[in-house]
Amino acid sequence: TTITYCAAIDLGATSGRVILGAWSKNRLKLTAVHRFPNTFRTLDCNDYWEIGALWHEIQTGLRKAAAALPRGAKLASVGVDTWGVDYALVNDTGRLVFPVHAYRDNRTQAGLKTLGGTRAALERVYAATGIPNVFYNSSLQLAETIAACPAITDLATRCLFLPDYFNYLLSGRMANELTIASTTQLLDVHSCDWSRAALDYFRVPAQWLGKPVLAGTKLGTVRGIPELKSTRVIAVPGHDTACAYDAMPASPDGTDLFLSSGTWSLVGFESDTPVLGPDALAARVANERIGDGRYRPLTNVIGMWLLERTMLDLGPNARPKNPAAWDKLIADAAKLPPSKHLINTADPALANPPSMKAVIDAQIRRKKGAPPKNVVGYMRLICDSLGRGHADAMRAFERMTGRKFKRILIVGGGSRSPLLCQTTADAASIPVVSFNLEGTAVGNIANQLIALKAVKDLPSFRHHLTAHLEKKVYNPKK
Ligand code: LRH
């Protein structure tokens, strides 16, 4: 029997991993060969990723993947996905000519207000790109870089979004990939190319961007790691959320709502057409793309970031030290009564506050409630509030599209929280199905297997995957 080995490099805003996949007889076996934390660092007033540290972790992970192969076996390919929107500006020789900023940097606030305050421009940009005005958009970030450092237009010749940049470091080839391009607010919502109108509005030089390639494009072979010199670098959907959605064991009739729950909660579905117009703009629907060019209309709900940051404020002992301690924290929170007052998850003050706990407490006090007393209480409050946020996003989609969702499929870190699954089911009044699945890595590997012709297409991959998946169903409690 043939076994096809692929490695997924999957970088999230708070953690990264390299996962080895072995595909044989229509089954995928995963081994997490390397995991590492990720964080941005603040220098003066700005936030930056530690890009050299991430590259070091990627190389370490690939060496571990090579070492984990059975004797004589070869790693067929690798693929990279990362969080959305962030980018590296490079010159023709690939040198970084600007530090890589993190999307939580407050530098886009002025641009966000300007666009938000000009109805005509806001509608024009939305009609052109299908992406709402959100603080982290690459469009706003690039506009700020160019305004603050005008000489950058002479220094930089290419803009590579982070998966594109790591693909370049791995393979030597510069290419912009479609799904990550679709997070920028610079891509034309009706084609698979850049939007002239958006580039003009944000004054981004068109020559910085190459026509996006589709998922499955073979970029070259791995440079710099002798054991992997014949391993291909394949452009997978570079956006982590696109990979997570690809891994969803969805029913083909389109009645499943997708929830990828991590730092952010991405609530959406797959569609042949974008969801546009005034209601979509008001509901902040982002028409991101699937690797093959179709659409993933989704709403970005603030997600577990609330918990990540609140735990920092509660001190070093608030954060569980191992999986069992996490389970206990979640179980204790589930025993508390449902929260009387919920967090307004759309409050922009939650994006990157000096103290998350202070913002949450202030919100609850404004509603004449009492803030939680400890980490268990915050866990309860945050899960109740996210559940409501997920359900609101679902109802908005139902209103706009006439669809009726029958189930919510959840993957990602939050899918391991019975409390979050249950609060979501209760608020949405439909079952939540959670899968024991490292979704993003699975979607990443699926796209490599399809490019290598080891699997026919995504529907058949999902079909095979569904046959062996462990799932848990949370029915709404009346
Ligand atoms: C989640 C995510 C999300 C957004 C954000 C910036 O990791 O990719 O879809 O784009 O990060």
Cα of 227 from ligand 1 centre, angstroms: 32
Q: At residue 468, does pLDDT exceed 90? A: no
- Tell me the pLDDT band of 252, cut-offs 50, 70 and 90: confident
Name residue 410's amino acid. Answer: I
Q: What is the pLDDT of residue 292?
A: 93
Over residues 22-47, the mean pLDDT reads 96
Residues paired with 16 in a beta bridge: 11, 36
Q: At residue 1, does pLDDT exceed 80? A: no
Burial class (CB in 10 A: 0-12, 13-18, 19+), 469: middle
Tell which atom from ligand 1 comes closest to the C-alpha of 12: 7
Task: Report the complex ipTM.
Answer: 0.94
Nearest residue (CA) to ligand 1, atom 7:
83
What angle in degrees, to the nearest 10, is found between the helix axes of 51-68 and 162-171? 60
Cα of 264 from ligand 1 centre, angstroms: 7
Q: At residue 478, does pLDDT exceed 80? A: no
DSSP string, 393-445: HHHHHHHHH-----EEEEESGGGG-HHHHHHHHHHHTS-EEEE---HHHHHHH
173, 220 contact by CB (below 8 A): yes
Pull the structure tokens for residue 448. Answer: 């490599």
What is the distance between the terminal CA atoms of the chain, rounded to a whole angstrom? Answer: 50
Cα of 348 from ligand 1 centre, angstroms: 16
What angle in degrees, to the nearest 10, is found between the helix axes of 109-116 and 119-129? 100
Burial class (CB in 10 A: 0-12, 13-18, 19+), 423: buried
How long a stretch of residues is the chain? 478
Q: At residue 438, does pLDDT exceed 90? A: no
Gap between the Cα atoms of 177 and 131, Å rounded: 17
Site residues for ligand 1, CB cut-off 6 Å: 12-13, 83-85, 103, 136, 183, 239-241, 262-264, 266, 300
Residues paired with 409 in a beta bridge: 258, 433
Nearest residue (CA) to ligand 1, atom 6:
84
Rounded (to 5) percent helix, strand, coil in the chain: 40, 20, 35
Q: Between these two residues, 478 and 403, which has the higher pLDDT value?
A: 403
pTM attached to this predicted model: 0.95
Looking from the CA of 393 toward its CB, the CA atoms found within 13 Å total: 28
Tell which atom from ligand 1 comes closest to the C-alpha of 86: 6
- Residues 157-210: tens digit of each pLDDT: 999 999 999 999 999 999 999 999 999 999 999 999 999 999 999 999 999 999
Cα of 65 from ligand 1 centre, angstroms: 26
297, 257 contact by CB (below 8 A): no
Distance of CA 279 to the CA centre of its chain: 24
> What's phi and psi for 21, nearest 5 deg?
-110, 135
- Residues 375-424: tens digit of each pLDDT: 999 999 999 999 999 999 999 999 999 999 999 999 999 999 999 999 99
Distance of CA 297 to the CA centre of its chain: 14
Distance of CA 124 to the CA centre of its chain: 26
Catalytic residues: 240
Over residues 459-467, the mean pLDDT reads 93
Q: What is the pLDDT of residue 272?
A: 96
Tell which atom from ligand 1 comes closest to the C-alpha of 136: 6
**Tokens 């693929």 found at:** 79
420 SS3 class: helix
The chain-wide mean pLDDT, for the chain, equals: 96
Q: What is the pLDDT of residue 274?
A: 98
- Residues 258-317: tens digit of each pLDDT: 999 998 999 999 999 999 999 999 999 999 999 999 999 999 999 999 999 999 999 999
Tell which atom from ligand 1 comes closest to the C-alpha of 264: 1
Residues 6+ apart with CB under 8 A from 331: 418
